[in-house]
Structure 1
Amino acid sequence: MTETISVTSPYDGRQVGEVPRHGDDDIDRAVDRAAQLHRRGALPAHERAAVLDRAAAAIEGDPDRFARIICDEAAKPISTARTEVARAIDTFRFSAAAARTVAGELVPMDASSAGEGKLGLVMRVPRGVVVGISPFNFPLNLVAHKVAPAIAAGCPIILKPATATPLTALELARLLGECGLPEGWLQVLTVRGSDTNRLVEHPDVAMITFTGSPDVGWAIRERVPRKEVGLELGNNTPVIVEPGVDVDAVAAALAVAGNGFAGQSCISVQRIYAHAEVADRLTDALVREVDALVVGDPSDDATQVSALIDEGEAERVAGWVDEAAQAGATVCTGASRDGAVLRPTVLSGITPAMKVSAREVFGPVVGVATYTDLEEAMARANDTVYGLQAGIFTPDLDVALRAARTLDFGAVVVNEVPTFRTDQMPYGGVRDSGNTREGPAYAVEDMTERRLVVIDRPL
């Protein structure tokens, strides 16, 4: 009898699906099949692009096909799930564009006397079998950021979705089949994390693209140092708020950016450094905005915040809040818990030693600290092992440019919350936050190799 994995709603615990638990034999068969397809050669670029365009149109034509599954298996509020679906449509369309435009280059061979009379070409060729490992928090769009560029690049891909949220990925695989993707070019393996080593270590896997926790991501890279490994990892996102901004508008934006999908985003706002001139007003306004967030059933269109992915995570985050309070932080609002649902929480007086400041909370918690000097604020923002995205609100262009040069992050967002992301931009971090840049055009570069071809006249 085949072992299965039960998929349950984080909000109310009901079973929403069941998937097979794939094992070693399934992994070996999937990799062998993908490797055979790679050896036969990729589909022409125009056919790959057409599949991706058809997929975008199919998702757009029935967005609730995916939004409801995301809501059920991840407890993502349905309105937020619809936003994720809209972003996935963009991801497929940008990937189709990348499939049509990926190109090599000419090498000026006669720049050297030895190359006179020769023609040099650099081709971009598919790297080989790609393994994509995706997290639970964006079960459609982060899957799309693995799958769609792999198709665009001409690489067979084996996808390992998060154990908690495999249903969206399986539905996407079905849709791509309906859109003409030949069988075997996308295979979804529902394996538990403990079974993943066999997959990433398989000698016929050329590349791993991983989104998730730094500990797991860097451990994969250490395990397979000779493979191409792209890592998009965590953060504890800082935001600096300077004088002269519209405090109420900034607070409204930060309230959503720190608590959307219960703070379970690697660029969810976590640390706010507010100038002493605005700190009290900002904190008061932030508390009002957070208290106004609608918490509850993710299937309700009005809900903005619902459950964390499981009760254990909610317990962990609540414990970090308690530790911060015991260490001197003030709980301005929130912190009460009902099962996996934690009320959005605002802390003031956070210090660097507190877990809510030093580590990635990945929950609906925002901490505020006060500063008087911009250099001090930027130093505190940089005082982290992470480096994905950071933000600053300021009316001063010189200050914005200073922050852009000084903040040691993959992206610095000015006068917008650093949860901002469009799916074509080069998204990724430095230090423990990763080593790659996602966005279809950039991912296709990683999934293809340069092959030099030198042509001379026949002898």
Structure 2
Amino acid sequence: MEMIVGGKRVKKEKTLKVCNPYNGEIVDEVPQGEFPDVDKAISLADEGRKIMKELPIYKRSDILYNTGVLLEKNEKSLTEILVKEVGKTKKEAKGEVLRTAKLFKYASEEAKRVHGETLPFSSLEGSENKIGYYTLEPIGIVGAITPFNVPLSLAAHKVAPAIAAGNAVVIKPATQTPLNTIILGELLLEAGMPEKAISVLTGRGSIVGNALVKDPRIRFLSFTGSVETGENISRNAGMKKLGLELGSNSALIVADSANIDKAVKSTVSGGFSLAGQVCISVQRVFVHEKVYDEFVSKLIQKVKEINIGDPMDDRTTMGPVIDEQNAIRIVEWFKEAESKGAEILTGGSRNYTLVEPTILTNVPLESNLMKNELFGPGIAIRKIKNIEEAIILTNNSVYGLQAGIFTQNVNEAFKVAKSIEAGGIMINEGPRYRADFMPYGGYKKSGLGREGIRFAMEEMSEMKVVCFDIEE
């Protein structure tokens, strides 16, 4: 596949192989971009941003809506590519394509609501003769660096609001999963996106990614990925606005009044969808001692019903992790917790990149599973005596993206909502829940800024004040 530089397809002699996580087979090859490619893309985007700024809002809206329609029309081919390059199941891949189509259509609506408001200058003594307002203008060029796990939707979360706000966009997809993003770029062009305003650059993060981060012509950089990379971006970005979504170690609290069946269902879907490779996957579960045995028994039963295997097989409900290196690390974390006193109730092993859905109990607080982001199919369970203990344990983390609680006690619900340090608190729902319009982001090392179409649009805009003195 070819990358896109200022709307034009570009081949390179040097390429990177895109491999199927399930069997290691080569799916396709993409160009290995270099610094001159980045420089050219940004130079063209510098012209493209002027075109986008002058583009009437209804035309931006049309581009976004048409992209949503084209995504729906290409659902089957995009689904197959997502299965092959990411390793997610057919159901998960199809869901991502359709979700992305809806996201673009929603952004089409939000594009029509870019506006400022009047300012009450006469409320200030000495400014009685002044009237004015502020407007939102495009920030210019948005750089987007996307992850491997939900590559199409998370690219859309950066690209769609950037276009809605009137910006040019340069996208750098994850090295492991670039194919769907290239197709997205092609669909955007087909939908009417000005050529100079869109680039999809493939290549290594150390070259292409770093060049995007450091270039002063990029006025807003949106990144989803690891804390380590996010911190490196912060050190090197210079004077530009940043949106960083850096992951989590999401906790779920199960109170003694919880609907246990619902909590179990949410734990399974939240912990093992996409083999646990989601920033807000359920990783830590704190269960009240009164319902602990019932919860664990039902959870094990449901987890054993997960069918792991070839993601192209319709019977498969959980596919592989992204590569063998991560599969090895994930199992090592299980063994490390076990060596420190945890008990593996089910799972704990792997076959190449297929890691068994794993449940551990009595997991020590100093273990990797309790401190860091697993990004794999494993859940650590601990017994608690009360909600206060659960809040302390949940907040005992460098992360704070999302958390959840199952309870029928409204006072407990409000206490958790107030006390937990996270960007989103889900009541009678797991932390895995996300609506694409809501402000999404975290506290602490989970990142900076918020995604969600309207909120991202605001961050991808500049605010301009206009003031008239009308004294005669």
TM-score normalised to structure 1 length: 0.97
Determine which of 213, 217, 224 is the counterpart of 1:200. 213
| Aligned counterparts of 1:225 and 1:203: Cα–Cα separation in 2 | 7
Corresponding position of 2:187: 175
Determine which of 7, 12, 15 is the counterpart of 2:26. 15
| Aligned counterparts of 2:363 and 2:136: Cα–Cα separation in 1 | 49
Determine which of 55, 65, 75 is the counterpart of 2:67. 55
Corresponding position of 1:248: 261
Determine which of 118, 130, 137 is the counterpart of 1:118. 130
Determine which of 390, 397, 404 is the counterpart of 1:377. 390
**1:160 to 2:172 alignment:** yes
Determine which of 210, 214, 219 is the counterpart of 2:227. 214
Query: Secondary structure at 2:338's aligned position in 1?
Result: helix
Corresponding position of 1:131: 143
Comparing 73-82 with 84-93, greater Cα deviation is found at 84-93
CA offset at residue 249 of structure 1?
A: 3.1
| Aligned counterparts of 1:273 and 1:118: Cα–Cα separation in 2 | 58
CA offset at residue 250 of structure 1?
A: 1.8
Report the residue type matching 1:170 in the other structure.
Answer: I
CA offset at residue 251 of structure 1?
A: 1.4
Structure 2 unpaired stretches of 5+: 1-11
Question: Contact (CA 8 Å) 1:42, 1:155: kept in 2 or not?
Answer: no
| Aligned counterparts of 1:379 and 1:42: Cα–Cα separation in 2 | 51
CA offset at residue 191 of structure 1?
A: 2.0
| Aligned counterparts of 2:459 and 2:184: Cα–Cα separation in 1 | 23
Render the CA deviation track for 1:332-388: whole Å, top value 9, x for unaligned.
000121101101000011121010111000000001100112101110011000000
Report the residue type matching 1:451 in the other structure.
Answer: K
Distance change (3 Å), C-alpha of 1:68 and 1:458: farther
CA offset at residue 118 of structure 1?
A: 3.0
Q: Give matches, 1:292-311, under 5 Å.
A: 292-311=305-324
Question: Contact (CA 8 Å) 1:59, 1:89: kept in 2 or not?
Answer: yes
CA offset at residue 283 of structure 1?
A: 1.0
Identity of aligned residues (%): 38
Report the residue type matching 2:17 in the other structure.
Answer: S
CA offset at residue 407 of structure 1?
A: 0.8
CA offset at residue 198 of structure 1?
A: 1.8
Comparing 167-176 with 109-118, greater Cα deviation is found at 109-118
Report the residue type matching 1:322 in the other structure.
Answer: K
CA offset at residue 225 of structure 1?
A: 4.1
CA offset at residue 457 of structure 1?
A: 5.0
| Aligned counterparts of 2:454 and 2:242: Cα–Cα separation in 1 | 17
**1:70 to 2:82 alignment:** yes
Report the residue type matching 2:456 in the other structure.
Answer: A
Query: Secondary structure at 1:205's aligned position in 2?
Result: coil
CA offset at residue 59 of structure 1?
A: 1.6
CA offset at residue 113 of structure 1?
A: 4.5
Report the residue type matching 1:241 in the other structure.
Answer: V
Report the residue type matching 1:130 in the other structure.
Answer: V
Render the CA deviation track for 1:158-192: whole Å, top value 9, x for unaligned.
00000000000000011111111111222001021
Query: Secondary structure at 2:195's aligned position in 1?
Result: coil
Question: Contact (CA 8 Å) 2:107, 2:160: kept in 1 or not?
Answer: yes
Report the residue type matching 1:358 in the other structure.
Answer: K
Corresponding position of 2:7: none
Determine which of 73, 88, 93 is the counterpart of 2:100. 88
Query: Secondary structure at 2:436's aligned position in 1?
Result: coil
**1:30 to 2:41 alignment:** yes
Query: Secondary structure at 2:360's aligned position in 1?
Result: strand
| Aligned counterparts of 1:106 and 1:406: Cα–Cα separation in 2 | 36
Q: Once superposed, what is the RMSD of the aligned Cα atoms?
A: 1.4
Question: Contact (CA 8 Å) 1:147, 1:186: kept in 2 or not?
Answer: no
**1:191 to 2:219 alignment:** no
Report the residue type matching 1:28 in the other structure.
Answer: D
Determine which of 127, 147, 152 is the counterpart of 1:140. 152
Query: Secondary structure at 2:149's aligned position in 1?
Result: coil
Comparing 404-413 with 54-63, greater Cα deviation is found at 54-63
| Aligned counterparts of 1:401 and 1:109: Cα–Cα separation in 2 | 39
Corresponding position of 1:402: 415
Render the CA deviation track for 1:183-223: whole Å, top value 9, x for unaligned.
12220010211112222111211110111111111220121
| Aligned counterparts of 2:385 and 2:250: Cα–Cα separation in 1 | 20
Comparing 248-257 with 227-236, greater Cα deviation is found at 248-257
Report the residue type matching 2:166 in the other structure.
Answer: G
Distance change (3 Å), C-alpha of 1:205 and 1:281: same
Render the CA deviation track for 1:73-109: whole Å, top value 9, x for unaligned.
0001110111111221221122112210010111122
Report the residue type matching 2:328 in the other structure.
Answer: E
Corresponding position of 1:334: 347
Structure 1 unpaired stretches of 5+: none
Question: Contact (CA 8 Å) 2:450, 2:456: kept in 1 or not?
Answer: yes
Question: Contact (CA 8 Å) 2:337, 2:369: kept in 1 or not?
Answer: yes
Corresponding position of 2:295: 282
Determine which of 378, 381, 384 is the counterpart of 1:368. 381
| Aligned counterparts of 1:292 and 1:442: Cα–Cα separation in 2 | 39
Report the residue type matching 2:33 in the other structure.
Answer: H
Corresponding position of 2:5: none
Determine which of 322, 325, 330 is the counterpart of 2:338. 325
Q: How many residues matched?
A: 459
Question: Contact (CA 8 Å) 1:90, 1:423: kept in 2 or not?
Answer: no
Query: Secondary structure at 1:140's aligned position in 2?
Result: helix
| Aligned counterparts of 1:256 and 1:205: Cα–Cα separation in 2 | 38
CA offset at residue 156 of structure 1?
A: 0.4
Distance change (3 Å), C-alpha of 1:56 and 1:39: closer
